[in-house]
Amino acid sequence: MQGEPTEPAASSGDMPLIKVSALRKGTVIDHLVAGTALKVLSILGIRFEGAVTIGLNLESGKVNRKDIIKIENREITPEEVSKIALVSPRATFSIIRDFNVVDKFKPALPPVIDNLIHCPNPSCVCNDSRVATRFKVERTDPLKVRCHYCERSLKKEEVELL
Ligand SMILES: [Zn+2]
């Protein structure tokens, strides 16, 4: 294919094709679990310096659905990647510069997560603001973590990010 750098059009059944122009510079977060894009946006905050394109519930293979986010002029930080991995463990990240993918990776959750997850146990020592929370990852997908201090175990849907 020659000419303008565009990505393959996304189609959804009989809906008209939607063309999304390629990013010159920024981050593409693909293969987000369908329904998690807005949560991911809230993780990223509103520090955007360019266009943000969001695709919700797009076809991904024959049966699956996914969300996708394209963020212009912003490269994602390792801390943001870890948070997004907690929400959507199979997400893929592509860093774009001059229309080229210069880095593409899937996040790997570390065995221990410091200061990202809130412990819902009110008597847990980590709810003292001087103590950073610490959770051990017991299972990645579906996510299961355990508080290092009070041993409270949390499933994916119970995880609340700080
Ligand atoms: Zn705890």
Q: What is the pLDDT of residue 21?
A: 61
148: CA distance to ligand 1 center in Å?
7
Helix then strand then coil, in percent of the chain rounded to 5, is 15, 40, 45
Q: Are 28 and 91 in contact (CB under 8 A)?
A: no
Q: Distance between CA atoms of 88 and 72, rounded to whole angstroms?
A: 21
pLDDT of 19 > 50? The answer is: no
Does residue 2 carry a pLDDT above 90? no
pLDDT tens for each residue of 131-154: 999 999 999 888 899 999 999 999
Q: Which pLDDT score, from 0 to 100, does residue 108 have?
A: 80
- State in Å: Cα 42 to ligand 1 middle: 24
In the reported structure, the alpha carbon of residue 43 is separated from the centroid of ligand 1 by a whole-number distance in angstroms of: 22
What is the whole-number distance in angstroms between the Cα of residue 146 and the centre of ligand 1?
A: 8
CA–centroid distance, 109 to ligand 1, in Å, is 19
Our CA dihedral for 132, 135, 140, 141, rounded to 10 degrees, sits at -90
CATH of domain 25-105: 3.30.70.140
- Ligand 1 centre distance from Cα of residue 152 (Å): 6
Please give the helix or strand (H or E) that residue 40 lies within, else none. Answer: helix 37-44
State which residues have CB under 5 angstroms from ligand 1, the bound ion: 119, 121, 124, 147, 149-150, 152
Pure H helices in the chain: 37-44, 78-87
| Whether the Cβ atoms of residue 117 and residue 144 lie closer than 8 Å to each other | no
Cα separation, 160 vs 85, in Å, equals 13
By percentage, how much of the chain surpasses pLDDT 70? 86
Cα 151 to middle of ligand 1, angstroms: 6
- Taking 60 as the threshold, does the pLDDT of residue 13 lie above it? no
Angle at 26 between CA 20 and CA 16, to 5 degrees: 10
From ligand 1's centre to the CA of 33, what distance in Å?
27
CATH 2.30.30.20, applies to 112-161:
yes
42-77 pLDDT tens trace = 888 877 788 999 999 999 888 889 999 999 998 888
Compute the chain's Rg from CA coordinates.
18
Q: Where are the domains of the chain?
A: 25-105, 112-161
Q: What is the mean pLDDT of residues 4-9?
A: 50
